[in-house]
Amino acid sequence: MYFSHLECSVPCGAGPFNARETHHLCPACAMPLLARYDLEAARAWSKDSLRDRVSSMWRYAEMMPIFPGDMVVTLGEGFTPLFHAPRLGAELGLSRLYVKDESLNPTNSFKARGQSAAVTRAKALGAKTLSVPSAGNAADAMAAYAASAGIPAHVFMPKDVKTPFITEAKLYGAEVTLVDGLITDAGRIAAERGKALGWYDVSTLKEPYRVEGKKTMAYELAEQLGWEYPDWIIYPTGGGTGMVGMWKAFEELEAIGWMPAGAKRPKMVTVQADGCAPIVKALAENAERAPMWEGAKTIADGLRVPKAVGDFLVLRAIRESGGTAIAVTDAEMVTGMRDLGRFEGISAAPEGGAAVQCIRNLIADGSIKKDDRVVLFNTGGALKYLEVVS
């Protein structure tokens, strides 16, 4: 195992920080901390070892935030299928369209990965109570992993979140608080309430380990494509951990020699809702940070994130990869959900549907060519969002 320490993501010069102690944001600059590994030593780790490994994201345990003796809190998350999607590909005019189907994770979304890693680490650090603000999916995932770890959980969601998100969090025994506002308001209230009570806050990028779970999507992608990168990754982005995690993974894969140094990385594309598109706006305005989006509104609960603490890291990944950011309408998301359903039999959340429209736009403007290898991330399933299609 090569997990070694924590480092400021800016980096601001403070640290390194001891990963055997509890840390949230960088104490010097209040920006996210990232987990770091002994990459030199990790070069001794061979890909061949994966052959007999568990079919979950923990197959990459050596590059995960655990120390010898830690108990992993797992429900079988990750190692989701990467489907070739020939029928949807033909509809769009692509020969090499793939869908990474994250709806098949526990609790129906890719959020399971982040929470498996975060709750594993929280348990190892002795956390007594967990709390999380969420747009929906992260709350259900945290509730499930907290239950599995035997740690009480408090989740805070906007009060107009779709009912199944609330029902499922309660099913796992979490204490659910509904907030008059958005995820940012939920975050403020959760932090205020938890401070006095010593709750361990699992907010996106405010603790360093959800990113580590999400990064495994890129490890899997490389492995499933025979240790090659695709040309494009289309990713529905809210808080940004998925984008940040995958970009970090590419750095690690190259540093440990699993991918050639200088390999042409995928272009990272963020897709957002036109009713909440802070990253799209910041990229267009050439800004380093994305200001708060006022009046955020969309049927894609996971994309209703008006301000993200890791916005600069998402923007960095997009720019360094030569990618872009695109906003789509709610109606286009529903069309995309139906397309993934009727052409491929895949159950897609509006977030996944948004990625279909994003691809259409990038083909139309000549960016994506017909033989490019394109990976669409279906970050969640349709079932919790059925009200938008029925």
Ligand X SMILES: Cc1ncc(COP(=O)(O)O)c(C=O)c1O
For residue 103, give the nearest of 147, 141, 135 by alpha carbon.
141
If the CB atoms of residues 4 and 80 are measured against Zn ion, the closer one turns out to be 4
Maximum pairwise Cα distance, the chain: 56
Peptide bond into 266 cis (omega under 30): no
Cα(313)–Cα(240) distance, integer angstroms: 8
In the numeric block, which tokens belong to residue 330?
Answer: 């709610």
Binder to Zn ion among 5, 23, 24, 29 (CB under 5 A)? 29
CB of residue 68 vs ligand X: minimum separation in angstroms? 29
How many other C-beta atoms lie within 10 A of the C-beta of residue 35? 21
Residue closer to ligand X (CB basis): 33 or 256: 33
Tell me the C-alpha distance between 183 and 248, whole Å.
25
Amino acid (one-letter) located at 111: K
Running DSSP on this structure, what letter comes out for residue 312?
H
What are the structure tokens assigned to 147, written together?
A: 């239950």
Q: Which is nearer to ligand X, 74 or 237 (CB)?
A: 237
Residue placing its CB nearer to ligand X in the complex, 80 or 241 = 241
Pick one of 5, 28, 39, 76: the residue that binds Zn ion (CB under 5 A): 28
Instruction: Please identify, among the stretches 14-22, 137-145, 282-290, 338-346, the one whose residues bind Zn ion according to the rule CB under 5 A.
Output: 14-22
137-149 helix and 163-171 helix, angle to the nearest 10 degrees: 0
- Residues in touch with ligand X (CB under 6 A): 109, 111, 135-138, 204, 236-242, 302, 349, 351, 379-380
Residue 20 to residue 121: CA distance in whole angstroms: 9
Piece of the chain touching Zn ion by CB under 5 A; list 9-17, 141-149, 341-349, 354-362: 9-17
Nearer to ligand X, 336 or 380 (CB): 380
Locate tokens 């959980």: which residue? 153
5 token code pair: 């320490």
Q: How many residues does the chain have?
A: 390
26 binds, among ligand X, Zn ion, none (CB under 5 to 8 A by kind): Zn ion
3-class secondary structure, 376: strand
For residue 255, the minimal CB distance to Zn ion (Å) is 22
Gap between the Cα atoms of 26 and 362, Å rounded: 37
Q: CB 203 → Zn ion: shortest distance, Å? A: 17
Q: Is 259 in the site for Zn ion (CB under 5 A)?
A: no
For ligand X, the nearest residue by Cβ is 302
Residue with Cβ nearer Zn ion (4 or 9): 9
Q: Does residue 12 touch Zn ion according to CB under 5 A?
A: yes
Query: In the numeric block, which tokens belong to residue 119?
Result: 């709750």
Q: What is the DSSP letter of 380?
A: B
Given 1, 6, 19, 26, the residue binding Zn ion (CB under 5 A) = 26
Q: In whole angstroms, what is the distance from residue 368 CA to residue 72 CA?
A: 40
Q: Does 24 bind Zn ion (CB under 5 A)?
A: no
How far apart are CB 134 and ligand X at their closest, in Å? 7
8 binds, among ligand X, Zn ion, none (CB under 5 to 8 A by kind): Zn ion
- The Cα–Cα gap between 254 and 60 comes to 15
Dihedral angle, C-alpha 326, 330, 335, 341, nearest 10 °: 90
Nearer to ligand X, 256 or 268 (CB): 268
Min separation Cβ 30 and Zn ion, Å: 7
**Residue 100 interface partner, choices Zn ion, ligand X, none, CB cut-off 5-8 Å depending on type:** none
Distance CA 59, CA 50 (A): 7
Q: Which of ligand X, Zn ion, none interacts with 283 (beta carbon under 5 to 8 A by kind)?
A: none
Please, which residue, 127 or 349, has the CB nearer to ligand X?
Answer: 349
Q: How far is the CB of 241 from ligand X (least distance, A)?
A: 4
Query: Of 42 and 304, which has the nearer Cβ to ligand X?
Result: 304
Residues that bind Zn ion (CB under 5 A): 8, 10, 12, 14, 26, 28-29
